Amino acid sequence: MKFASYATLVSVLAMALAACSDATFNDAPNTKVDPEPVAQEEPAPLPPPVEEPIAQIEALPVEQRLESNELVARVNEAQAINKEYASQIPGVSTVKVGVNFEDTAVGSDLDYNDAVLCFQGYFKVDKFNVVSALNQTVVATTSSISGCSHTVEVLVVHADGTAAAPIVYNSRMMGPLNLTFKTGDRLDVSLTAIDGCDMGVKRNMADPNFAKIQIGLCNTTGR
């Protein structure tokens, strides 16, 4: 009788253990392991607008900015980099700009070639304004077909209203003129005759009676 009870006890314990084991596995939560997120590569940023050698050129004295072969080479390099940068910005393209002046109100021939500033770059242009579309340096040429000579003042006006040091030259000067712009800078050019031709009267490029801002046309010849 004792033997039978012991066997029964062992059997009952075995069944209980089996039941507990089944309950443990059946009650375990059905967990799902999410895969590790795949990191998305950020698109490569656009190259920054060229700051050098623009800053170096802007810091030079005016006479060095006017006549430096080394400077022109550095400007050309900057323009090449800016061209690559501009090609990645929708709606930005290069334009040739002529700021063409007429120097007198009396007996004017209206040929608008008495003083001319001519350059090419990335600009937004209308009848009154030339605004830079990005940081850039341009090499402008000058010309004059007039019996009078003039003082020409060139200003690069920043978006906050301040301006770089003016560049002043005689209209009969032939040579490169290096102009540096940051995005949003505005060109401001004035003409003052210094012998004849309404001498002493200052004319501004925004006055349509005495200046024409033209895309693709620099009046370097007669009519």
pLDDT of residue 3: 44
Q: Do residues 222 and 169 make contact, with C-beta atoms less than 8 angstroms apart? A: no
What is the token pair recorded at 117?
A: 């500033």
Residue 193 lies in a domain: yes
- How far apart, in whole angstroms, are the C-alpha atoms of residue 203 and residue 178? 22
25: pLDDT strictly greater than 90? no
Residue 128 lies in a domain: yes
- How far apart, in whole angstroms, are the C-alpha atoms of residue 82 and residue 61? 24
**What is the percent of the chain where pLDDT is above 70?**
61
pLDDT of residue 157: 96
Mean pLDDT over each residue of the chain, to the nearest integer:
76
Model confidence at 51, pLDDT cuts 50, 70, 90, reads: very low
Residue 210 lies in a domain: yes
Q: Do residues 130 and 220 make contact, with C-beta atoms less than 8 angstroms apart? A: no
Model confidence at 118, pLDDT cuts 50, 70, 90, reads: very high
In a 13 Å sphere around the CA of 31, the CA atoms on its Cβ side amount to 5
Amino acid letter, 195: D
CA distances from 172 to 152, 169, 193 (A): 10, 8, 12
194: pLDDT strictly greater than 80? yes
Least confident of 1-10, 83-92, 127-136, 163-172: 1-10
Residue 43 lies in a domain: no
Question: How confident is the model over 171-184, as pLDDT tens digits?
Answer: 888 778 889 999 99
Residue 133 lies in a domain: yes
Residue 58 lies in a domain: yes
- For the segment 104-116, the average pLDDT, to the nearest whole number, is 79
Amino acid letter, 34: D
Q: Count of domains in the chain?
A: 1
Which residues constitute the domain of residue 128?
54-215
Model confidence at 80, pLDDT cuts 50, 70, 90, reads: confident
153: pLDDT strictly greater than 60? yes
75: pLDDT strictly greater than 50? yes
88: pLDDT strictly greater than 80? no
Residue bearing tokens 């990645």: 88
149: pLDDT strictly greater than 80? yes
Its sign, for the CA torsion 132, 138, 144, 145, is negative
pLDDT of residue 71: 62
Residue 39 lies in a domain: no
Residue 2 lies in a domain: no
